[in-house]
Structure 1
Amino acid sequence: MKVSDLAGSQLDFWVAKAEGVEASVDTHLKFMPSTDWAQGGPIIDREGIQVAPMPAKGGAWCAVSIGRLPNRAGSSNGAWVEGPTPLIAAMRAYVRAKFGPEVE
């Protein structure tokens, strides 16, 4: 699945994997960084993820990891990712930087 299509519990699952949090159905009820600023905000800050509005795209947001994450095969530090909210865009950028543009 393309990281740019991840949302909801699927996105939270992949952020959990990137964070080293054991991901399960129960985890999704407690770990929701794509909707909870108290969880997603520290990831954005720690990883140096930049988030910006995209007024030309009807209120969408974009985010990019500026390179604090180690480059791995297929990673894409520096690639802009879009989302309907700042947190979704940022968490997509984080997952993409960790795992590349697609996840299984």
Structure 2
Amino acid sequence: MNVNQLTGAQLDYWVAKAEGMQAEVKHACGADWCQIDVQHVGYLQYQPSENWHITAPIAERQRYLTYPRLREDGKLEWLAEAHLNPDFHGMCTDESPKVAICRLRVAEKFGFEVAE
């Protein structure tokens, strides 16, 4: 699957894997979520695509640049770019800057195609 198509729990799962965590996607009551196993704590829900407290440290550590631009249809989209990384030059976009950052982290670690 193309990284730019990842959303929700699947995106959160791949970010967890990129960050070196044990993760799995859970499903109950019609909802999916990513669950991680945290040593000495137990299982926690992990949502970097929804939570700046998780996403911002990733962007800062990886030295990602984010900036907005207007699409041709007039909607705002965010670009996340690994401009300062000497080993990986990539860019991902989404209407949410958090999603763009998460996609870029996955692409940086695994490439722009991941197994479903």
Question: So what's the TM-score if we normalise by structure 2?
Answer: 0.76
Q: Is the 8 A contact 1:50 1:65 kept in 2?
A: yes
| 2:83 alignment partner in structure 1 | 66
| 2:103 alignment partner in structure 1 | 92
Tell me which protein shows more helix as a share of its residues.
Answer: 1
Matches of 2:3 and 2:80 in 1, distance apart? 13
| 1:41 alignment partner in structure 2 | 56
Cα displacement (A) at 1:78: 1.7
Q: Secondary structure at the match of 1:17?
A: helix
Structure 2: 5+ residue stretches without partners: 27-33, 37-43
| 2:28 paired with 1:17 | no
Tell me which protein shows more strand as a share of its residues.
Answer: 2
Structure 1 vs Structure 2 CA RMSD: 1.8
**Percent identity for Structure 1 against Structure 2:** 35
Matches of 1:101 and 1:67 in 2, distance apart? 18
Of 23, 27, 40, which aligns to 2:35? Answer: 27
Cα displacement (A) at 1:55: 1.6
Matches of 2:59 and 2:50 in 1, distance apart? 13
User: Which aligned segments of 4 or more residues in structure 1 are displaced greater than 4 angstroms?
Assistant: none
How many pairs does the alignment contain? 98
| 2:50 paired with 1:54 | no
Question: So what's the TM-score if we normalise by structure 1?
Answer: 0.84
Structure 1: 5+ residue stretches without partners: 72-76
